[in-house]
Amino acid sequence: MTGTEIYKRTAAYEREARTIRLHAPQWKLLLAYDGQRSLAEVALSADVSFAEALPLTEKFLGHGWIEEEPITLDQYLKRTGAPDVSAIGAVVPPAVVLHQAKPETAVPPPLAPKTAAQPPPVPVSATNKPRGPMRLSAVVDYITSLVGNTALGQLLVYRVFLRVPPELLQAEDIASVHLVKDTSLIRGEALQKAIATAVQEVAQRPLPDSVYAAA
């Protein structure tokens, strides 16, 4: 599940509703499936983290209480903001010349040998300076800022953290990612690299240095 799926309650749920026994937060999630909002949006409205919503959704699917609602192309394009290539047409880019013949030129006479100059010292790269812990709130804000729509930005955050190994998050005592004012500081290098890799793969952007606290 990516969080973009849309679910609705089924006729089986209507028949069994009076006999179903669930905890209150689970009822809130089950009743939020309306066939209109995505799984990520439903989880937000029910005050349930995406990580908690996934197994509950699978449970409801297994009981036959909900089913996935197919959407039209227009609905998909509206929700994602993707361009309709069937309307604008596909544009074939020009061929890229990798090797181009150059006109022959006269070979210049050999130059007199010179004394080899001492190479200048290599400057220390600014990227090699020590970094402090990664601020989770800054990571979330950066991912959300990559899209103009708040709901899509939050969905992008979910997609990024679905790619982060859960055992690394658990090692840092991160049970869920808060979309607003998350005070978690990530000190483990393995988790920092995993988050940076996930952002690069999903959002096609590198994480800026500003997401790290001062060393």
- CATH number for 64: 1.10.10
Strand 185-186, strand 34-38: pairing? unpaired
Is the domain of 207 the same as that of 136? yes
- Per-residue confidence (pLDDT) for residue 103, from 0 to 100: 58
Domain with 66, as residue range(s), is: 6-73
Residue 124 lies in a domain: no
Domain boundary among 46, 73, 100: 73
Q: What are the E-state strand segments in 106-176? A: 134-135
Residue 51 lies in a domain: yes
Residue 112 lies in a domain: no
Domain boundary among 73, 105, 120: 73
Residue 178 lies in a domain: yes
- Per-residue confidence (pLDDT) for residue 91, from 0 to 100: 46
Residue 188 lies in a domain: yes
CB atoms within 10 A of CB 104: 6
The tens-digit pLDDT sequence of the chain (215 residues) is 677 788 999 999 999 999 999 999 999 999 999 988 888 889 888 888 888 888 999 999 999 999 988 877 776 666 665 555 555 454 444 443 434 445 566 666 666 666 656 655 544 444 455 678 898 888 888 888 887 667 777 788 888 888 888 888 888 887 777 666 778 888 889 999 999 998 999 888 898 888 888 76
Residue 91 lies in a domain: no
Residue 26 lies in a domain: yes
- Per-residue confidence (pLDDT) for residue 90, from 0 to 100: 45
* Cα–Cα distance, 109 to 87 (Å, whole number): 61
The first and second tokens of residue 192, run together, are: 């920092």
* Cα–Cα distance, 73 to 61 (Å, whole number): 24
Domain boundary among 73, 101, 116: 73
How many domains are contained in the chain?
2
* Cα–Cα distance, 162 to 168 (Å, whole number): 12
DSSP 21: -
Is the domain of 69 the same as that of 134? no
Residue 121 lies in a domain: no
- The answer to whether 203 and 146 are in contact (CB under 8 A) is yes
* Cα–Cα distance, 47 to 136 (Å, whole number): 20
pTM: 0.42
| Radius of gyration over every alpha carbon of the chain, rounded to an integer in angstroms | 26
- Per-residue confidence (pLDDT) for residue 125, from 0 to 100: 43
